[in-house]
């Protein structure tokens, strides 16, 4: 199972790729923003 932390790390790694179109980059940035918001909305473990 992928945790929020793992998902966020994968998205950040994808953003470092030089072979992304502007559209792909914007999509990943939006998904990262949503993942960070979900992580921040959860109560601390």
pLDDT tens digits along 3-23: 889 999 999 999 998 889 999
Please name the helix (run of DSSP H) or strand (run of DSSP E) that holds residue 32, with its range, or none: helix 22-41
Task: Return the pLDDT at 1.
Answer: 59
Task: Return the pLDDT at 30.
Answer: 97
Please name the helix (run of DSSP H) or strand (run of DSSP E) that holds residue 4, with its range, or none: helix 4-15
The average pLDDT across 22-37 equals 95
Q: How confident is the model at residue 43 (pLDDT cuts 50, 70, 90)?
A: confident
Task: Return the pLDDT at 3.
Answer: 87
pTM reported for the whole predicted model: 0.80
Query: What is the Cβ-side half-sphere exposure of residue 26, based on CA atoms within 13 angstroms?
Result: 3
Task: Return the pLDDT at 17.
Answer: 84
């Amino acid at each position: 199972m992928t945790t929020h932390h793992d998902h966020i790390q994968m998205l950040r790694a994808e953003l470092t790729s030089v072979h992304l179109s502007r559209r792909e980059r914007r999509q990943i940035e939006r998904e990262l923003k949503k993942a960070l918001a979900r992580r921040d909305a959860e109560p601390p473990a």
